Amino acid sequence: MTKSKMTSRMRTRPGIAVFLLFGCCAFGFAQEQEKENQGSKETRVGDLTGHAASGKALYRRYCISCHGAHGDGAGESAPQLDPKPRDFTKATFKCRSTPSGTLPTDTDLYETISRGIFNSNMPPWRPLTREQRVDLIAFVKTFSSRFQEEKPGVPLSTPPEPATSAASVQRGAQLFQDMNCWSCHGKEGRGNGPSAVTLTDNKGNPIHPFDFTTGTRMKCGEGGPTIFRDLMTGLDGTPMPSFADALNTDQAWDLVHFIESLSAASNKGFFARLAAKNE
Amino acid sequence: MKRNSLPIISAAVLTIALSALVAVRPVRAGFPNSSPPSPASSGVVKGTVKVKGTVPKPTHIDMSQDPKCAQAHAGSGATEDIVADANGDLENVVVYISAGLPADAKFDVPAEPVVLEQKGCTYRPHVVALRANQELKVVNADSTTHNIHPSPNNNRELNQTQPPGVPFSMTFAREEISIPVKCNIHPWMRSYFAVFKHPFFAVSGKDGSFEIGNLPPGSYTLTAWHEKLGTSFQKITVGESETKTIEFTFKAEAGS
């Protein structure tokens, strides 16, 4: 509301009433707007709404031994685990559909709980009902105030995967070189690049780059679209960066195809062909 | 009844509204609510940061894993953990007002970005001080790909790949001193970001000198932070138009 509007309305007594009424409404509206801009306390996945209170009981039964009573990843079993359980107080999550540095969506967290994290001690929690999993997410989100202060990032879209081809794999191989993927993942994708031994997660624990020759079942899922998403979002809390500003869609798919070829062809002469080409 | 009570209610509500406005904006003499503070009466804190004791010599960095880095450096890359000259003048120390400013003082965020350059697979500058929500422009002047990976405690962690020539910017919403920054691709690359909610900070230069201007008269705590040598602070009082000279001395101990 501008100053001039205020002054004109304040000239008369009914004007004051109108101003107060309107002003209060505007204030209420502004508050609503602010709520819009902040994170929502409600957790929704599809048609389900999560309840933190119900989630708390489930958390204390199923999650507390690894993730700890305070959600900081320092549960009783944590010292024995590698990789370490997630620290929910930082609100930093590897598997997201949202840009690097932003909060995951409720659906992202739901998918992680349902799928588990491959190559870790986090199992899929499919034995729990869908409602229970959504309740758990509502509770996990209470460990960080970021979920009240911020909205999740805008999910990045994953366009349909084009068919792979020798040419696409070859372009991907060049990108693997140019983007310095090899520094960590190794020239042959075995997770043994020159920087691999120096890597730590955001808690300072050693972390190992993925060995692509072992398959395409990765932390956040399996298959081309998952690798595409991992490339675009990065795995927050780990040294794996986002390539959202570095690769266009076609390039990202080429890189995905090359990465897939590393496991499909690991023992079938692919590297022999690649080496022959490079020499 | 209705006619009589309306002015009273209106007046009461207006009074409450006005007093609320006043309550949230207490005015302290010489302390405007936005920057730059009035220069007429403001003071300056300047001085030098020194290091005493045996300063470990910088060690050579082997960049041979990425030939593009090694070539750019012509073999001269060295660690920057402690950078001091022969007189013990200590570079890369963040000096800042850590207490004494009114809690609600607000300062405009500069529109000009702060620039961090990756050159020769080294960060320039090694320590970056900036304001919360100020744009930090990251430039890749190398012919190789970097990733820029700050690990904050109180801000969003983000991790972005940056091929040569691709522009990238970031901001940090909250004050944090300091955020370690890495390039995971080139593990020797290390920088620190010091993020402030106010404009009263400086980073010591090659001669160890720093200067913080436009400081409204008052009593403050002045803190100096170094990535390896830790934190040191002094209580200071700055009078009207006064220039205060302060010296910080860090002690380098064996193994630091």
| Chain B residues within 8 Å of chain A (Cβ atoms) | 6-7, 10, 13-14, 65-66, 144-149, 151, 156-163, 166, 168, 170, 182, 184-187
B157–A90: do the CB atoms touch at under 8 Å? yes
Query: Mutation test of the interface with chain B: which of A96, A100, A187, A248, choosing the one with the most B Cβ atoms within 10 A?
Result: A100
Domain range annotation of chain A: 43-149, 166-278
ipTM of the complex: 0.76
- pLDDT, residue B232, reads 96
CATH topology of domain B108-197: Immunoglobulin-like (2.60.40)
Residue A194 sits at the chain B interface (C-beta within 8 Å): yes
- pLDDT, residue A30, reads 44
B147–A237: do the CB atoms touch at under 8 Å? no
Nearest to B163 among A13, A20, A246 (CB): A246
Q: Which CATH superfamily includes the segment(s) A43-149?
A: Cytochrome c-like domain (1.10.760.10)
- pLDDT, residue A190, reads 95
A20–B186: do the CB atoms touch at under 8 Å? no
Residues of A in contact with B185 (CB under 8 A): 180, 183-184, 195
Residue A156 sits at the chain B interface (C-beta within 8 Å): no
Query: Mutation test of the interface with chain A: which of B138, B144, B159, choosing the one with the most A Cβ atoms within 10 A?
Result: B159
Nearest to B13 among A20, A179, A180 (CB): A20
User: What burial class does residue A185 get, using C-beta atoms within 10 Å of its C-beta: 0-12 exposed, 13-18 middle, 19+ buried?
Assistant: buried
Residues of A in contact with B170 (CB under 8 A): 101
Residues 6+ apart with CB under 8 A from B21: none
pLDDT tens digits along A119-170: 899 999 999 999 999 999 999 999 999 999 999 999 999 999 999 999 999 9
pLDDT tens digits along B54-112: 898 888 999 999 999 988 876 567 899 999 999 999 999 999 999 999 888 899 999 99
∠ CA A150-B114-B88, rounded to 5°? 120
pLDDT tens digits along B156-174: 899 999 999 888 999 999 9
Strand partners, B140: B118
A243–B186: do the CB atoms touch at under 8 Å? no
B7–A178: do the CB atoms touch at under 8 Å? no
Q: Do B31-105+202-256 and B108-197 have matching folds?
A: yes
Q: What is the pTM of this model?
A: 0.80
Query: Mutation test of the interface with chain A: which of B15, B21, B158, B181, choosing the one with the most A Cβ atoms within 10 A?
Result: B158
* Distance (Å) from the alpha carbon of A196 to chain B's nearest alpha carbon: 9
CATH architecture of A166-278: Orthogonal Bundle (1.10)
Residues 6+ apart with CB under 8 A from B252: B51, B52, B53, B54, B55, B56, B82, B229
Lowest-pLDDT range of A49-53, A203-207, B2-6, B122-126: B2-6
CATH topology of domain B31-105+202-256: Immunoglobulin-like (2.60.40)
Hey, what's the torsion of the CAs at A140, A144, A150, A154, to 10 degrees? -40
Q: Which pair of tokens denotes residue B206?
A: 């090659």
Asked if residue B142 lies in contact with residue B121, where contact means CB atoms within 8 angstroms, the answer is yes
Residue A11 sits at the chain B interface (C-beta within 8 Å): no
Given a cut of 70, the residues of chain A with pLDDT beneath it are: 1-41, 264-279
Domain range annotation of chain B: 31-105+202-256, 108-197
Searching chain A, which residue's CA lies closest to the CA of residue B143?
A178
User: Is the pLDDT reported for residue B1 higher than 80?
Assistant: no
A198–B187: do the CB atoms touch at under 8 Å? yes
* Total H helices, total E strands in chain B: 2, 16
